[in-house]
Amino acid sequence: MTDQTPLVRIEGLSKHFGETVALQDLTLDIAQGEFVTFLGPSGCGKSTTLRILGGFERPTKGRVILDGEDVTGQPPERRNVNMVFQDYALFPHMTVAQNIAFGLELKGMGKADIKRRSDEIMSFLELDAFGSRYPLQLSGGQRQRVALARALAPDPALLLLDEPLGALDAKLRGQVQQELKSIQRRTHKTFFFVTHDQEEALTMSDRIVVMNKGRVEQDGTPEELYFRPASRFVAEFIGETNLLSGHVRGTEGDKVVMDWEGTTLKGKAPARVPGEGQPITASVRLEKLGFHAERPQTANAVQGRVVSKTFLGSRMSMQIAVGDKGDALLKAYVDAETGQSVGNDPVWIGWEADNMAVLND
């Protein structure tokens, strides 16, 4: 196998539950060592994909190739894949060491090798001190780490993680996200992570696959999805954005020129540009809007009045009324000092064409 060969190849995967189409014609490659996140709202088919990869569910159509081998019909124990569940599924009557050893025993490993591998993984995940404790004697974060240790112990080629941080409180969650990402880097394991939390996906992933109604909406790096969303769905699902609905005026190179609230705007063109006069929506992130006393030299500039400010600590969220009748609202993030200095006088808001993505609906 060369480095270019994907570790996982998903080919034309569909899954129907009676009338419900959970997954529709999913085709996707995952490279060895990638941290891939499936992100989407409830019911979009994330868990179904994960369960098919794990062998817990049979697809209606399509194939799963793992390490060059078609494993579509193989049961979970015949695949070199392991899983971390949201509730960790630790055995409460077993110690941490016994929980970790369990999967290795199932694999038929000898006693001495089990001890060596368990010690190795406990030391790697800094669990040495907890070997003889029971799960109930651990914090949420520690339990999560034990579940990860147990799943990594048999050295699976692919690790499936189904909302594994869902049970942690917000503060611990941030810390465990960093930890999990660092473990993935250090082990060079391929992680297939499922979440509905866009912030979590942005923080941890090398690549995010946004799912909507059983189909891939967009597949890219966190930066690509955030700054170059391909559709309104992705623009709204990932981060906060301003959606500007106007009409196409024409194109200039790779830019779309559009009319919006009596102003002409320019933004990056989507894959398909509708004809002149057709309705179109553009997305510009809150932090890309700049405040100016005079009309700025940016490709896009509108005049408006700040109607509300919210202090958020390191920055301020501003609402600006703009447009012909002053009834269109833009939302912007600025640093707290800039926010405080803006008063009731009219202000100019400017942004570059490269910072606005014109969307395919």
**Footprint of ligand ATP (CB under 6 A):** 17, 20, 22, 40, 42-48, 196
Question: Which of residues 30 and 357 has its CB atom nearest to ligand ATP in the complex?
Answer: 30
CB of residue 37 to ligand ATP, shortest distance in Å: 12
CB of residue 214 to ligand ATP, shortest distance in Å: 7
CB of residue 15 to ligand ATP, shortest distance in Å: 7
CB of residue 38 to ligand ATP, shortest distance in Å: 8
Question: Which of residues 26 and 330 has its CB atom nearest to ligand ATP in the complex?
Answer: 26
Question: Which of residues 45 and 54 has its CB atom nearest to ligand ATP in the complex?
Answer: 45
Question: Which of residues 29 and 57 has its CB atom nearest to ligand ATP in the complex?
Answer: 57
* Parallel, antiparallel or unpaired: strands 81-84 and 158-162: parallel
Question: Which of residues 142 and 205 has its CB atom nearest to ligand ATP in the complex?
Answer: 205
CB of residue 46 to ligand ATP, shortest distance in Å: 4
CB of residue 272 to ligand ATP, shortest distance in Å: 27
Question: Which of residues 42 and 314 has its CB atom nearest to ligand ATP in the complex?
Answer: 42
CB of residue 191 to ligand ATP, shortest distance in Å: 17
Question: Which of residues 45 and 103 has its CB atom nearest to ligand ATP in the complex?
Answer: 45
